[in-house]
């Protein structure tokens, strides 16, 4: 879940003074990198990641980039607002800073909005939890493979040592040396 402008800019990999066209360009670049049709060639994936994990990670990265772009664009709209009209508002309508017209929520509308916001917040939390679980699974898989490789290396060295020992014993017997 993107919570700040700084976080959104960091996700897109752009500077704070960048403009909307820079945001869109950065987003397009991320899409090029993590698009499902390009994931095999565009990213140096860890060997431990299988195709399914790569696809899932790519989907999450694309969603995160989209969320960052949406956040920046919505923030931009909030900052800029609707351009103020040249004419003054009607006398019975309240004046609103940033242009546009005043809007009041009824209690039901407020509850609905709060429910939607709560639902979005829960979805974002779940999405973040899923991302963390995926990263954790990848780390565990990498750790398991590393331990497995270490064990196999130890077995290979033990086999080499056994072969050397057997060769020495064989040479001793052939040359008539007594091992006792």
Question: Per-residue pLDDT tens for 43-75?
Answer: 677 777 777 887 888 888 888 889 989 988 887
The model's pTM is 0.42
Tens-place pLDDT, residues 130-176: 999 999 999 999 999 999 999 999 999 999 999 999 999 999 998 88
Q: What is the DSSP track for 103-133?
A: ----HHHHHHHHHHHHHHHHHHHHHHHHHHH
29 neighbors 94 (Cβ within 8 angstroms): no
How open is the CA angle 146-147-150, to the nearest 5 degrees? 90
């Amino acid at each position: 879940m993107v919570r700040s402008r700084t976080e959104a800019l960091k996700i897109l990999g752009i500077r704070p003074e960048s403009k909307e066209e820079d945001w869109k360009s950065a987003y397009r670049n991320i899409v090029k990198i993590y698009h499902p049709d390009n994931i095999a060639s565009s990213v140096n994936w860890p060997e431990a990641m299988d195709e399914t994990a790569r696809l899932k990670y790519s989907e999450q990265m694309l969603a995160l980039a989209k969320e960052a772009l949406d956040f920046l664009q919505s923030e931009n709209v909030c900052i800029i607002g609707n351009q103020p009209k040249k004419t003054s508002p009607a006398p019975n309508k309240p004046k609103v800073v940033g242009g546009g017209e005043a809007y009041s929520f009824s209690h039901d509308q407020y509850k609905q909005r709060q429910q939607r916001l709560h639902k979005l917040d829960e979805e974002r939390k779940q999405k973040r939890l899923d991302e963390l679980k995926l990263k954790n699974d990848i780390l565990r898989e990498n750790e398991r493979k590393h331990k497995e490789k270490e064990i196999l290396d130890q077995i290979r060295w033990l086999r080499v040592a056994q072969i050397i020992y057997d060769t020495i014993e064989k040479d001793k017997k052939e040359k008539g040396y007594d091992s006792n």
